[in-house]
Amino acid sequence: MATLYSTTCRSISYSLTPSSSSLSINGQNHQRLNFSSCIAKRVLPAKVSFHSRRNFHLNVVLMQDGAVATPVTPVENETPFKKLKDGLLSSVPSTKEIKEAATFDVNKDESTVSITVVGASGDLAKKKIFPALFALYYEGCLPEHFTIFGYARSKMTDAELRNMVSKTLTCRIDKRENCDEKMDQFLKRCFYHSGQYGSQQNFAELDKKLKEHEGARVSNRLFYLSIPPNIFIDAVKCASSSASSGIGWTRVIVEKPFGRDSDSSAALTKALKQYLDEDQIFRIDHYLGKELVENLSVLRFSNLIFEPLWSRQYIRNVQLIFSEDFGTEGRGGYFDNYGIIRDIMQNHLLQILALFAMETPVSLDAEDIRNEKVKVLRSMRPLQLDDVVVGQYKSHTKGGVTYPAYTDDNTVPKGSLTPTFAAAALFIDNARWDGVPFLMKAGKALHNKSAEIRVQFRHVPGNLYNRNFGTDLDRATNELVIRVQPDEAIYLKINNKVPGLGMRLDRSNLHLHYAARYSKEIPDAYERLLLDAIEGERRLFIRSDELDAAWALFTPVLKELEEKKIIPEYYPYGSRGPVGAHYLAARYKVRWGDLGIEQ
């Protein structure tokens, strides 16, 4: 169903099908509408079969003034046209019908979006989901008619929900006009319904409330499952059978973890598909919504200088680094069941790796991009235990402050061997990346908080200035750094001459610092992903075969770690991690880029 979005948020998008595109005519941007099954009932003649409706597409240009420009057709008295009109083209809607359909679909009074946050009383909902929805509303990105419902087991009134949500809402730093007024307007759209996650009756009651707010409009419904994975299926079953939309679309956002291994992930996917189609399931990985991860493909595919270098001929290694400067802090009960490999490496870092290493997709369509990511994952060698280092942080006293060990967390079982740090070397066995080590490192309670991609290029063959660098050729290595968080930036390390009469070389950065270059505040990842889910854009969500391929890489080594009860290497809280990570990198003649004097 088409929805009109403000130009302050994105280009006007009419999502009549999962994809839409724009084109330029005489220097002006116009939207291309893809008429498909979603309007078949309104514009196609009754005699067209269901199969025909599903596969029927007609491109129409919607001009800025609202006029519809249809393809030029031959005059009716031409013989070929008459033959076609009586045959194949008998089911094509007329220009009048197309205009009526377009008017209907972009009419703000005809449709509404109902967003239900399942697990509304949890930390994720309070800290991320509701603030992201408010930010979208503040930017004018949500449809004219929308309603937000919180659903959880906790007993709460609408007023209590609004009070809880209001404590986490903030306005853009660069836009504070009418902030309080906007908050009040947003909170008036927020309601609450208490119920059990496995109760069809409670979801039927929710459905009744949703219908009261939707009125006679076409209802589109989005469910965000901010709940533990063990109750995903119960909630999906009840939402699907008792609270799904009867006319518009119904979509479900599922939070990680998507299982613990290949078998549990496949079982979860199979169970979800009993109640939902694949295109209704939006598996969210919030790292894919990060601004710098979004910029990764732009950097590569729209800059001529990078694409020719993006291969084994010029790149020596790629490093994907994630570090947090705090421990589990009371979340150990959840974390201990998964560990750092499942929590960070198998999803966040592996997804970034796939985006980084994929071939040029046919288009920016979601399926084309996800197809290329799957090819990368299927080309990777299964991870071996010899290529993995695991660690766990221990107690450490620094500056008179004692920091606890992982097992000091009351929610963590005593004697737990769950790793809070892991480093791994992965390889992609294809023509572009054969032999290039992709090094991953992720850990908690380290010396800093950061997430970055480091691309170290090969040494210059026969470098005339080697003597100026001495034996440490790594100091002369060009390196591209994409800092995902915090303080987003992209910089390229190059060698240059220091001004003066002598020949002294220096290493400098060509630097794009986002905060200095752009005054606009960078949107939170959840804002982008929620907006994509509302618009039906699946590019940044994980497809089931992607998930299968990702688990196939990590499941064998995870089972081996647990079956052999591998003892992690202990490292002090606030340190740079286990020494074993350096030996792993050295085996492949790599030095971690984040540990040098010049980071």
What residues are labeled active site? 348
3-state secondary structure string across 330-366: CCHHHHHCCHHHHHHHHHHHHHHHHHHHCCCCCCCCH
Pairing type for strands 146-152 and 401-403 reads unpaired
CA distance 271 to 274: 5
Q: Do residues 488 and 516 touch, judged by C-beta distance below 8 A?
A: no
CA distance 303 to 298: 8
Distance from CA of residue 55 to its chain's centroid?
29
Pairing type for strands 111-118 and 218-225 reads parallel
At 162, which helix (H) or strand (E)?
helix 158-166
3-state secondary structure string across 74-93: CCCCCHHHHHHHHCHHHHCC
The candidate with the shortest Cα–Cα distance to 540, out of 550, 552, 532, is 532
Specify the DSSP class assigned to residue 406: G
CA distance 345 to 322: 9
Pairing type for strands 569-572 and 21-25 reads unpaired
